Chain A
Amino acid sequence: MVIDIFSGKKIKIVKNNKQPIGCFHGIAGFGKKIMIKIPVYLCERKYPAYFYLFFRAIGFIYIREISQVKFTQSWVAILVKSILSPHTAQASRKLSFGCMHTRKKRKPLNSVIRIYIMLTREIMNNSIKILSVVIFVIFAIFLAGCLQSNQSPAVSEPINLVKMSGQEMVQKLGTGEIAGFIMWEPYPAIAVTKGIGKNLILSGKIWKDHPCCVVAYDQDWYKSTNNSDEILKRMALVQLKSVEYINNAKQSDSKDHNELINFTMQFGGLTDPAAANLSLADVEFVYNTNIPDTTTFIQKVQDFGIFVPEKWNQSGYKNASDYANSLVTNKYVDWAINNKDANLSGISLKEPVTIRYGYLINDIHELPFYVGWQKGYYKDLGINISIAEGAPFQNGAFEMQKGFKGNTIDIGSLGIPPVIIHRINSNDFSTDDARVEVIAGMNNEGSIIVVASNITSLKDLRGKTVGYPGPGTIQQVLFLMAAEKEGLRVSS
């Protein structure tokens, strides 16, 4: 009687000497001969003998439960006997030595050739299995590659720019997670007044009087509004007035100084007047823009490979200055300068309009907007400011894509590089939905590279992590320019 231990069925054996008969093993000690079938695939592998003994024990219990064999002895005794009997020992040895297979005799071969033949046969037979092993090896190589790149901070190691918010930068510089950051005011001022970091390079040192934030309008809004030119003229005038107010109130002996410090603290989310003072000192507020500086920026952005080449070709601009000319309009600022001292009631809009205005979060560069809003300069000229959906924005790139392209902003203030980049990269040239134009400036300079106290030059930042507000922001372009001067590489 033969019992399959897995199905529990009794089966018959057909003996055929030419084929492997599988692994059958008799248990000694019974009146009838009972055989247990162990699946052939278990026998194909040379497991140690106890493995088979183990299976036999399972089979034994099976038999006890399902067979009609009457046990004359206690079954533990039978089991012990069966294990100890010479029959069993022999059978187990046979099992563990290759399962009673019939084997062909092989010709003796050179062992190297034999291994080679075995390997090729293995590969041919098990291509899928080997594929899986190969994939595993590739994983391992991946892993090794990563570990290696982490272990050796080479001399040519780039500085790693990592996008984060201003609060994160200050916090992470404090915990030592980043070695420094480049950010707009007031975050550098916060880090310095808290004693977390020190100023390494002011952006004025990278490029003297570089333009930074600007006021820009959305082309779609311009086309769909009747008196848009008139509105833009007034926007430029407010800009002029706010900038003049700030530049006047910046002096510590001015009567408006305390008011300005309050505005700075409110807009910048500051709690420390010292930080407000410090950040005001680093920013140069202006209302005009100029084409040569814009051209330089465009040229830099192009050199750094930030434009999508196909999009640049689609745009049809011949070169950087061509693009700058179509980007920047000075006529509104010119009008504002001429009408600086005009009577308010004379130039105020007859019918007040509402402008959806977008700006950046806690950016002291855009203080002129906040001053004009809080001091009612916009209202005086018949413009109601409503904060655009999604404002204040995390960075200029986001404001361009979400606000201007998504038509939730009419007029907004942001850094000039996001305008330059996204009027090309994010623009759909069949509808020109991301087309914005710059009408006035906000400020020059005012971004600072702040570092931990153990860093003395930009070179020390190699292989370290530096925070920045995001790809395509003015801070990225400035940092790249600083690195270019020192011959360093920056990854972003």
Chain B
Amino acid sequence: MKFDTRKKELLINLLSLVVFVILWQGVLILTREGIFNIPFIRLRDIPTPVETWHALLGSLFTHINGPNLTYGIYNHVFASMERVIEGGIIAFIIGVPVGIGVGYSKLIGNIFNPIIEIIRNMPPMAWIPLAIFIFVSGGSIFIVFIGVVFPIILNTIQGVRSTDERLLDAARTLGASESMIVTKVVIPSAFPSIMTGLRIGLGVGWMAIVAAEMVIKSPVGLGYFIWNMGDLGRYAEMIAGMIVIGVIGYLMNISILLLQRRFIKWVD
């Protein structure tokens, strides 16, 4: 059989996933039979892929037992996604102008750079206690905002600074005003970079939301879900939730990449 490279790559990718699942199952079977053991780790408690799959199917939708309503993963995904999108939008609205200002004007750059350089080194998780104390609600959106805004700012600055000097000269030659240069030259030129910032930022934000939901309390959210399931001793559901988190993070990344290709034609 003849494969072209693309198909070959896909095949290898799929195989690696399959091998990983088989290894997972195999190690657990060996552990449960008592053949394989790692001290200080309770490997026996980890659910097998099969159990995880059943747990995922079982907890996908909302269950009602008498008065007890258990939200499905579906609802939790909604809730987390909503927070990430809201935080991402706010970060985009604030981050892009700041980035353009800092990148384009030396003066603004010198004013804001020290602040940005210090604050961006505080991880989003370090803001969680502050968010708990100062926000009556929406603390987790704030954490997402912190996670998203700095990649956007930094990438915007980088994109603005790498604008082709010749394009700027050309625009100036043609008598464009500063505001026209920014809107017609700098922003289109920096746009791919801004999108990259958004993509990286949403990745960070998605990780931050899960951590934030574990600490900042709300009835729905994937972070809350996996913590809750752990509390109930339902480890299979917990792992299923973790996998859903990973898959959604991956999908978000991919879809932004595709959007980038769809809408920004002028960059290869």
Contacts and interface: CB of A to CB of B under 8 A. Distances in A.
Interface of A: 41-42, 45, 54, 57-58, 60-62, 76, 79, 128-129, 131-133, 135-136, 139, 142-143, 145-147, 149, 158, 160-164, 168, 175-177, 303-306, 308, 310, 395, 397-398, 400-401, 406, 421-422, 425-426, 428, 430-431, 465, 467, 470-472, 480-481, 483-484, 487-492
Given A45-B265, A61-B170, A492-B68, A422 B233 contact: yes
B32 A430 contact: yes
Contact of A421 (B63, B227, B233): B233
Closest 3 CB pairs of A and B: A132-B258, A425-B233, A305-B65
B44 A428 contact: yes
A145 B219 contact: no
A142 B81 contact: yes
Interface in B134-182: 136-137, 166-167, 169-171, 173-174
Contact of A129 (B136, B227, B262): B262
A79 B169 CA distance: 14
B219 A491 contact: yes
Nearest to A482: B67
A467 B232 CA distance: 17
A62 B255 CA distance: 38
B82 A142 contact: yes
Contact of A61 (B51, B79, B81, B166): B166
Contacts of A60: 170
Contacts, number: 149
Contacts of B255: 132, 135-136, 139
The A interface is mostly helix, strand or loop, or mixed, namely: helix
Contacts of A142: 77-78, 81-82, 85
Given A147-B82, A425-B232, A491-B219, A54 B70 contact: no
Nearest to B132: A168
The B interface is mostly helix, strand or loop, or mixed, namely: helix
A236 B83 CA distance: 51
B136 A61 contact: no
Interface size class of B (residues with CB under 8 A): 35 or more
A61 B45 contact: no
B67 A304 contact: yes
Given A58-B166, A177-B136, A163 B228 contact: yes
A487 B67 CA distance: 7
Nearest to B185: A54
Nearest to B235: A426
Contact of B70 (A149, A310, A492): A492
Contacts of B64: 489
B231 A490 contact: no
B136 A304 contact: no
A201 B160 CA distance: 62
5 contacts: A61-B173, A135-B254, A142-B78, A161-B219, A421-B233
A317 to B, nearest CB: 16
A398 B259 CA distance: 44
Given A58-B167, A142-B78, A164 B259 contact: no
A175 B42 CA distance: 41
Given A61-B169, A136-B259, A480-B67, A146 B233 contact: no
